[in-house]
Chain A
Amino acid sequence: MVGAHDGGPGDGPLERLIAFSARSWLLTLMVVAATAAWGYRSLINAPLDAIPDLSDVQVIVFTDWPGRSPDLVEDQITYPLTTTLLAAPEVRFVRGQSFMGLSFVYVIFEDGTDIYWARSRVLEYLNSATPKLPDDVRPTLGPDATGVGWVYQYALVDKSGNRSLADLRSLQDFNLRYALESLKGVAEVASVGGFVKEYQVNVDPNKLASYGIPLGRVTAAVRASNNDVGGRILEISGHEQFIRGRGYVKSVADLEQVVLGTGSGGVPIRVADVASVSLGPALQRGQADLNGEGITVGGIVVMRYGENALDVIDRVKDRIEVLKPSLPAGVEIVPVYDRSSLIERAIDTLKRTLTEELIVVSLVIIIFLLHLRSALVAIITLPIAILMAFIPMYYQGLTANIMSLGGIAVAIGAMVDAAIAIVENVHRRLSRWQDGAEEERRRFESQSAVVIDAMQQVGPSIFFALLVITVSFIPVFALEGAEGRLFKPLAFTKTYSMFFAALLSVTLIPALVVLVIRGRVRGDRNLLNRALIAAYRPVVLFAVRFRWMVVALAVLAMASIVLPYRSLGSEFMPPLNEGSILYMPTALPGISIEEVTRVLQTMDRELKKFPEVERVFGKAGRGTSPTDPAPLSMLEVNIMLKPESEWRDGMTWNKLIGEMDTAMRFPGMPNIWWMPIQTRTEMLATGIRSTLGIKVFGTDLAAIERTAVEIERALLADARTAPYTRSAFAERATGGYFLDFDIDRAAAARFGLNVEDVQNVIESAMGGAMVGETVEGRERYGILVRYAREYRDNIEALKRAFVPTANGAQIPITQVADLEFRTGPPMLRNEDGNLVSFVFVDVNDEIGIADYVETAREVVADEVNIPHGYRIAWAGQFQYYERAKARLEILIPLTIFLIFVMLYLHRRSLVETLVVMLALPFSLIGSVWLIWLLGYKLSVAVAVGIIAVAGLAVELGLLMMLYLDIAWRGHRAAGRMRTHADLTDAIVEGAALRLRPKLMTGLALFMGLVPIMYSTGSGADVMKRIAAPMLGGVGSALIFVLIVFPAIFSFWRGRGLPVFVPRPPPR
């Protein structure tokens, strides 16, 4: 578009490319067609998802050690694991969490590490850690997926009422799960809720005591009664007979017959004599409910990292259809979360937006050119360039999602610029040639020669403009962490589509232009153009005449952005409306499963009452997936809504959430209304979430906490930091309730007991000993030996647990141990092998965060006595902000400087370059005001939009300056530059007469973004955040360029000219 250079066509590489493409048009068309086909193939194979996966490269090591307290899990499992895994190569950090009976170790690798390579490293190091762990503990690698990969969830419903929850759970665990897990792209199918069947040997301690049998003998006997063996082969008449010893426990009766010993007179004492054996539910750390109707069994399909979510979901749905006939009568699979609809809607939104953009941009071109065939030439480049953009995307592994498609959407206006510039120039030159301008006639004999020359004239400028726009987007590539992962796809696709559009404009367009543009063209003197010029001319005159005022108003307008800017809020990521609600109330730690299940059902029932709600699926605690570390106190309720057409009149998304929020005010459970993907993404963040935090590392939790509290006090009290510290808050580890049996060694010794003898009772009598697994066909159920419920369900009963002494007597445990109730941490955090606790610090605006950290370091060093072997680290989001800020502080000025240098090299005039650069602040005016008007908050998305607008604004400014300059030079060469009036004439000519390319470019940019702003539906909100500053920026830049530039130009070129004399405008 930066057309009309005045020298003759050069013979640079681009010029030669244009000429070559135009002459060998058939070859060009074939190459383009082949590439487009390749692009199409990439497009249909491109993995689809809603948003880019924001998770780190992480490997989860998950260990299950049922019944153990968090500190035990930490000491015995998490600590040895983290310290071993730390040494693995490419590991960024290792974080551990120890819960009741569960250990999670997250090994986070450097960005860009191959996940499978990382997993093998973890496996290697795990191997050497295994000997350090307790014998019965086996750490497992989590799936190659994250919580964000939860793409599909279902619940099992039994309409017949004949199946117990345990049956449904067995169906899920041993049938559905494997059927779905075998599908391509499915990393794991986790189960949640219902009851896991278990054989329970409920021992009556009193009977044991009266028979004089210690509990240990029961566990040993049961363990020894459950096996199948093989006895090789017996050969009978040439036939091999396999010898088997069948001894698997198959039923409750089998267990009841297990012999514990003989009583007087050789009477066998069987398990049935001292215990009742039953099938019961195993200990649950999670429960599920559907619609508040009662406990249900659910399944969670976890997608493998980097897979095509839509394909995976389709496969899952197909498989479920296949499975349906084989389900027991009355059992149904009810989907409760399905991401495919979101993905489809998001992709649809963008497809529709893209289509609308194409139409709008095409209309702009058609209206301005008033020549259908030429317009088609410009328009055809868009779909082809988009197709081609998918080629690198595909090979780079980028998924087609809101962000990557959004990159194309925001680029469309700019993509078409190159084509517009070329076609417009061809038109102008062609019409001049056809009109028989003498000079033109002399230079070119044939029409195609004119056309090629016209194209060569603008070709290099196109590349220059592309370069400016691309360079201006560099800061986006500098983003890292979650922002980087979110916005880089956008930056990539925007750059790709721009690149291919530019490439096409010097290859495909020349080929098409010589083919298509035949016959008479009307140039830029059509009716619309004339009307526009007629309207615009007085504006220019006005601007030149009242240039002081125009400039003053421009400055005022610029200053005005301070107002809205100050009131903009900020947010990390604009909300993506996922179309389904995840209600996530969280109780304090320590809630029991009965209580939480009861609350969950009430909640589901309340939510189901809303007429907009289709289905409610609630989950408390965790499913079986290692990607789900939710403690019991955390509820996640998936709310599937009916289509909006079935909602009550006047109901909106926000209003609905508002009503639900009012209805669901459960005491002690703060509400959070999020959306599934958003939640999973947030939950991945295991580190410090606030801006600044101090991590205190150490070995003893109490000492760590003491140190943390000391730091908190020091920061709040010391004169150096107090004025800047808004708050400092050390975590207090409470919320876990413990009942401790403190073993009195002396008392135990009197009975001849070791600590272990007492602990065995605690472990197996109260906790229960898992002594084996039954093998029943495909199904496997645990066998648990434990005191019967009434002997362990209250403190008084626990006090009476029997410890067998050396001489056979059984004494109550209180004789050798003291009972204490204590509180402590319900969960322990471990980072890089140390226990860690956080001090959250909030710093006010009066000091830079880096300065604050420096001062605070001194304060902590002076005033806090950090125990030997303990250390502190300064962490938090501020690290990213600092790094991003540091990068942007260099990159943004560098980018501006680069643009400046490029402009200068292009225009060779300092003043001109500076004036063109003025378009940047002008664009800011529109951006900021529009964001403010729309009520958006400052976010990275908005910042990306603002960055994107820079290149476009410069492009517009450059265009204006170019034509003004040409006109001025023309006038001066003709000797008509003696007075201000002459200057005004020149300005009017430059600004108004060459309005078409400027307006076309500007309007293409502008109108290309409008459909985004009008789009609704999933993903639209995110795109709007990016598009709004662009739209506002392009709009204001266009207006200011059209009005203010003539004024500035007249200042600049008017120096030394005689005083302004009003004179009627020419013509």
Chain B
Amino acid sequence: MKRSIFFRAAAAAGVIVLAGGSWLLLSDQGSDVPVAPESDMPRYHAGGIEVGVTIVPSTPRVGDNRLIVELRTRAGEPVTGVSIDAYAEMSAMGAMPPMRAPARIKETAAGRYTGSVNLSMRGEWPLTLSFQSPGGQPVRMQFDLATDRKGIAIAAGASPVDGAAAPADDANVITIDNRRRQMIGVETSEATHRNLVKRIRAVGEVTFDERLLSHITLKFDGYIGDLKADYVGTPVDKNQVLFTVYSPELLAAQQEYLETAKRRTNPGADDPLLRAARQRLLLWDMSASEIEALERRGVPKDYVPIYAPRSGTLIERNIADGSAARMGQTLLSIADLSRVWIEAEVFEADLELVAAGTAATVTLPYLPGRRYRATIEYVYPYLQGDSRTGRIRLSLDNPDGELKPGMYAEVSLEAELGHRLSVPEEAIIVAGDSRVVFVDLGGGRLKPVKIEAGRNAGGFVEVLDGLTLGDIVVTSGNFLIAAEARLKSGIDQW
């Protein structure tokens, strides 16, 4: 009797211990145990079916975690026989290479697939799930997964069944909510038609307006008498006496003229000899009034005054009082500086963009703050030999004489490229041959789009292909968004 009581007590104790043990086991987050009730499993639309994904324990940990995927049609029928490829990957950090934790997923019940991921380190392990949907559509879903963070959240490739947003099966689309957008300072801009003006910088020089330049030369040999314009820079008025010159030849010509006039038989009548002598004087740059004065005086002048052909500034002086002046020698140069030229060099590559009439701004480093508007007056039809640059010409009024020939000038040409679809330069990510922009689809969704970029002008880039009018593109915070896209949607390379 006693024995049986003992026995029963002991047996009962044993049963309690075992039951307690198994209860503990089952109640824990242990991996053999399972599973959130089906209704709790978050579901997503992807590839035309409903995908339920959950992880156990619900807060993933370092070590083995169980991944459960359920596939069913919209009607609720289980989808069987799908092979799912899944892995979590911790990205590279500095010199540490990335780590990938694959989950070998097997179908454990109709439409129910389970596998385990072994996370070897604390941190973020974005999870990728890819399979072929029954319709033959490739599905690729991205989830945020991190150790010690509860749950997994869809990052790309699908939309929640109960979510308001339209299904976005595009695996490239990433979602970044407003708060996170603010944190990284996302700014956007519209792809729209803009007048693209390309600025071309050219190096130029202020030169004389060739049309307003006069050289003073003598057509006879002679000796300078009184040099009135006696220093470079002398302002000169038109018809002002520049200097006087003594020339035996001119003196002879004057006397010849006087002689001819004296010997004239019929005063007032046209005498061919007198006309020839007068013509000679005229050709030797004696003015008509001076010839008249000579006639009145009746005595030739030793020193004949030479008058300024135009107003301007004396810019060259090769003579002094008493210099011998040879026939044909440039004695003085007079330039009218009220108008100057800017000649600038444009590189071969830019030449096609400039033409007569292109607007330009001229600045001179010595005159800070002064900007001169001008247009191209002339494009020289040939290139400079050694530097292979094309030359263009602008002309500027110079009433105050600020612009001094020889000055170095910076010319900024504004080449009109026309009205083009364009986005700000900052929107474009350059990665090797590719140009990528992020298009804001609204609702926090961003999509990387490859574009064909055309000309770059004034902070905007012409879009030849890839965007349509009115697309909103991201212009700030691009790097992090691109990084997020590459991490979450598996675009390895652009």
A residues neighboring B (CB under 8 Å): 97, 206-207, 209-210, 542, 545-546, 549, 553, 556-557, 560, 563-564, 566-567, 569-572, 584, 586-588, 590-592, 595, 598-599, 602, 606, 629-631, 633-634, 654, 657-658, 661-662, 665-674, 682-683, 685-686, 688-690, 726-727, 729, 731-732, 734, 737, 795-796, 799-800, 805, 807-812, 814-815, 821-823, 827, 829, 838, 840, 842, 844, 933, 937, 1062
| Cross-chain contact A823 with B185 (CB below 8 angstroms) | no
Q: Which of B46-54, B100-108, B164-172, B209-217 contacts A (4 or more CB under 8 A)?
A: B100-108
**Is B368 part of the contact surface with A, judged by Cβ < 8 Å?**
no
Mask: chain B, 57-95; 1 = CB below 8 Å from A; 0 = not: 000011110000000000000000000000100111111
Which chain B residues lie closer than 8 Å to A822 at the CB level? 432-433
- Tell which of B62, B95, B121, B123 touches A686, judged by Cβ atoms closer than 8 Å: B95
Find A666's partner among B98, B104, B183, B387 (CB 8 Å cutoff). B183
Chain B residues lying within 8 Å of A809, measured Cβ to Cβ, are 386-387
The answer, among A584, A602, A688, A808, for a CB contact under 8 Å with B93, is A584
Q: A586-B94, A588-B487, A805-B386 are in contact. List 20 more A-B contacts (CB 8 A).
A: A97-B95, A210-B203, A546-B6, A560-B18, A566-B31, A566-B32, A586-B93, A591-B480, A667-B481, A668-B479, A668-B487, A671-B146, A673-B123, A683-B96, A690-B100, A726-B102, A800-B201, A840-B98, A842-B102, A1062-B3
Across the interface, do A571 and B63 meet the contact criterion of CB distance under 8 Å?
A: yes
Decide: A587 and B483 in contact? CB cutoff 8 A. Answer: yes
From B31, B97, B124, B482, A567 is in contact (CB under 8 Å) with: B31
Question: Is B14 at the interface (CB under 8 A from chain A)?
Answer: yes
Q: Which residue of A lies closest to B345 (CB)?
A: A209
Asked if A796 and B456 make an inter-chain contact with CB atoms under 8 angstroms apart, the answer reads: yes
Name the B residues within 8 Å of A672 (CB-CB): 93, 122-124
Is B7 an interface residue when CB atoms closer than 8 A count as contact?
Answer: yes
* B348 touches A (CB below 8 Å): yes
Which residues from chain A contact B176 at a C-beta distance below 8 Å?
667
Ranked 8 nearest A-B pairs via Cβ: A569-B63, A668-B483, A727-B102, A670-B124, A668-B484, A567-B30, A668-B480, A667-B484
Q: Which residues of A sit under 8 angstroms from B183, Cβ to Cβ?
A: 602, 606, 666
Contacts of B408 in A (CB 8 A): 207, 210
Given contacts A567-B32, A671-B146, A821-B433, A602 and B7 within 8 Å (CB-CB): no
5 A-B residue pairings within 8 Å (CB atoms): A666-B180, A666-B184, A667-B174, A731-B97, A1062-B3
- Most chain A CB within 10 A, of B95, B104, B431, is at B95
Q: What residues on A are CB-neighbors of B265 within 8 Å?
A: none
Residue of A nearest to B179 (CB): A665
Contact flags (1/0) for B434-462 with A, using CB distance below 8 Å?
Answer: 00000000000000000000001000000
- Whether A668 pairs with B387 at a CB distance below 8 angstroms is no
Contact of B148 among A661, A668, A821, A823 (CB under 8 A): A661
Residues on B with beta carbons closer than 8 Å to the beta carbon of A827 = 95
B486 at the interface (CB under 8 A from A): yes
Whether B303 sits at the interface, judged by CB under 8 Å, is no
A888 to B493, CA, bound (A): 45
Chain B's nearest CB lies how many Å from the CB of A507?
47
A residues less than 8 Å from B494 (CB atoms): 823
Q: How far is the CB of B76 from chain A (nearest CB, A)?
A: 32
Least CB distance from A386 to B in Å reads: 35
* B contacts with A, residue count (CB < 8 A): 81
Q: Answer yes or no: B11 CB below 8 A from chain A CBs.
A: yes
The reply to whether B101 and A842 contact each other, CB–CB distance below 8 Å, is yes
Q: In the bound complex, what is the Cα–Cα distance between A670 and B488 (angstroms)?
A: 10
* Nearest-CB residue, chain A, relative to B103: A726
A811 touches B480 (CB 8 A): no
Asked if residues A569 and B64 are in contact (CB atoms below 8 Å), the reply is yes
Q: For residue B493, which residues in chain A have a CB less than 8 angstroms away from its CB? A: 732, 734, 823
A815 CA / B349 CA spacing, docked (Å): 9
User: Is the CB–CB distance between A206 and B203 below 8 Å?
Assistant: yes
Contact A811 B387 (CB under 8 A): yes
Least CB distance from A871 to B in Å reads 19
Contact check, B95 vs A674: say whether CB atoms are below 8 A apart: no
Q: How far is the CA of A748 from the CA of B201 in the complex (A)?
A: 24
Contact of B14 with A821 in the complex, beta carbons under 8 Å: no
**Is there contact, CB below 8 Å, between B386 and A807?**
yes
Q: Return the contact of A823 from the options B14, B24, B432 (Cβ within 8 A).
A: B432
* Contact for A563 among B25, B98, B122, B480, CB less than 8 A: B25
Q: A587-B480, A670-B123, A810-B387 are in contact. Are A838 and B97 (CB under 8 A)?
A: yes
- State A1062–B11 Cα separation when bound (angstroms): 20
Alpha-carbon distance A844/B484, docked complex (angstroms): 30
Q: How far is the CB of A903 from chain B (nearest CB, A)?
A: 31
Residues of B contacting A588 in the complex (Cβ-Cβ under 8 angstroms): 91, 482-483, 486-487
- Interface flag for B21 (CB, 8 Å): yes
With beta carbons under 8 angstroms apart, the residue of B31, B146, B492 that contacts A732 is B492
Which residues, 392 to 415 on B, are CB-close (under 8 Å) to A?
408, 410
A206 close to B201 (CB less than 8 A) = yes
Residue in A592, A634, A666, A1062 whose CB lies within 8 Å of B94: A634
B21–A737 CB distance below 8 A: no
Q: Please indicate the chain A residues that have their CB under 8 angstroms from the CB of B18 in the complex.
A: 556, 560
B25–A564 touching, CB < 8 Å: yes
B184 touches A602 (CB 8 A): yes
By a CB distance below 8 angstroms, the chain B residues around A633 are 94
Instruction: Answer whether residue B99 sits at the interface, using C-beta atoms and an 8 A cutoff.
Output: yes
Known contacts A569-B62, A689-B97; A590/B479 CB under 8 A: yes
The answer on a CB contact under 8 Å between A556 and B480 is no
A759–B311 alpha-carbon span in the complex (Å): 52
